[in-house]
Amino acid sequence: MTDSTMTTRQKVEASMARRRAAETRFRVYGMASVLFGMLCLVVLFGDIFSKGTSAFRQTVLTTEITLDADYLDINASSDERALMNANYEGLIKRHFKTEMSPSGRKERRQLYSMISAGAGWQLQGVVLDDPELIGETITIDLIMDDDVDQWFKHDRDNPESTRLSEKQLSWLNTWVDSGALHTRFNTTFFVNGDSREPELAGIRGAITGTFLTLLVTFLLSFPIGVAAAIYLEEFAPKNRLTEIVEININNLAAVPSITFGLLGLAIFINIFGVSRSTPLVGGLVLTLMTLPTIIISGRAAIKAVPPSIREAALGLGASKMQTVFHHVLPLALPGMLTGTIIGMAQALGETAPLLMIGMIAFVVDVPSFISDPSTVLPVQIFLWSDSPERAFTERTSGAIMVLLGFLIIMNTAAVMLRRRLERRW
Amino acid sequence: MSIIENHKTVGTPLSEGAKLSARDVCVYYGEKQAIYNVSLDIRKNEVIALIGPSGCGKSTFLRCLNRMNDTIDICNVTGEILLDGDDIYHPRVDVVPLRATVGMVFQKPNPFPKSIYDNIAYGPRIHGLASSRVDLDEIVEKSLQRAGLWNEVKDRLHAPGTGLSGGQQQRLCIARTIAVDPEVILMDEPCSALDPIATAKIEELIDELRENYTIAIVTHSMQQAARVSQRTAYFHLGQLIEVNATDKVFTTPEHQLTEAYITGRFG
Domains and their CATH numbers in chain B? 10-262 (3.40.50.300)
Q: A375 near A383, Cβ under 8 Å?
A: yes
Is the domain of A44 the same as that of A94? no
Is the domain of A176 the same as that of A226? no
Q: A183 near A349, Cβ under 8 Å?
A: no
Which residues of chain A are within 8 Å of residue B75 when distances are taken between CB atoms? none
Number of H helices, E strands in chain B: 10, 11
- pTM higher than 0.90 for the full model? no
Is the domain of A265 the same as that of A389? yes
- Chain A within 8 Å of B178 (Cβ-Cβ)? no
- A313 to A171, A232, A371, B115: CA distances (angstroms): 81, 20, 46, 15
Closest chain A residue to B73 measured between Cα atoms? A238
Per-residue pLDDT of chain B (267 residues; tens, 9 = 90+): 678 888 888 888 888 888 999 999 999 999 999 999 999 999 999 999 999 998 889 999 999 999 999 988 899 999 999 999 899 999 999 999 999 999 999 999 999 999 999 999 999 999 999 889 999 999 999 999 988 889 999 999 999 999 999 889 999 999 999 999 999 999 999 998 888 888 888 899 999 999 999 999 999 888 899 999 999 999 999 999 999 999 999 999 999 999 999 888 776
Is the domain of A215 the same as that of A260? yes
CATH number at residue A270: 1.10.3720.10
Is the domain of A290 the same as that of A377? yes
Asked if the Cβ–Cβ distance from A315 to B66 is below 8 Å, we say yes
Is the domain of A232 the same as that of A108? no
**Host domain of residue A286:** 204-421
A425, burial (CB in 10 Å: exposed 0-12, middle 13-18, buried 19+): middle
Last residue within a domain, chosen from A32, A53, A74 = A53
Is the domain of A215 the same as that of A276? yes
Which residues of chain A are within 8 Å of residue B88 when distances are taken between CB atoms? none
Last residue within a domain, chosen from A136, A162, A197 = A197
- When CB atoms are compared, the residue of B68, B97, B111 closest to A314 is B68
Is the domain of A396 the same as that of A372? yes
pLDDT in tens, A134-182: 888 889 899 999 888 888 888 887 777 788 888 888 888 888 898 888 8
Is the domain of A219 the same as that of A184? no
> What is the tally of structural domains in chain A?
3
Contacts of the segment B89-97: beta carbons below 8 A, 24+ positions apart: B95/B67, B95/B70, B96/A317, B96/A318, B96/A319, B97/A317, B97/B127
Report d(CA A198, CA A304) in Å as an integer. Answer: 52
Is the domain of A133 the same as that of A220? no
Distance from CA of A273 to the nearest CA of B (A): 46
Asked if the Cβ–Cβ distance from A309 to B110 is below 8 Å, we say yes
pLDDT in tens, A110-137: 888 889 888 888 888 888 888 888 888 8
Is the domain of A133 the same as that of A156? yes
pLDDT in tens, B83-99: 998 999 999 999 999 99
Closest chain A residue to B177 measured between Cα atoms? A316
Residue type, A290: T
Asked if the Cβ–Cβ distance from A312 to B173 is below 8 Å, we say yes
Is the domain of A71 the same as that of A18? no
Last residue within a domain, chosen from A197, A213, A240 = A197
Asked if the Cβ–Cβ distance from B180 to A316 is below 8 Å, we say yes
Asked if the Cβ–Cβ distance from A425 to B113 is below 8 Å, we say yes
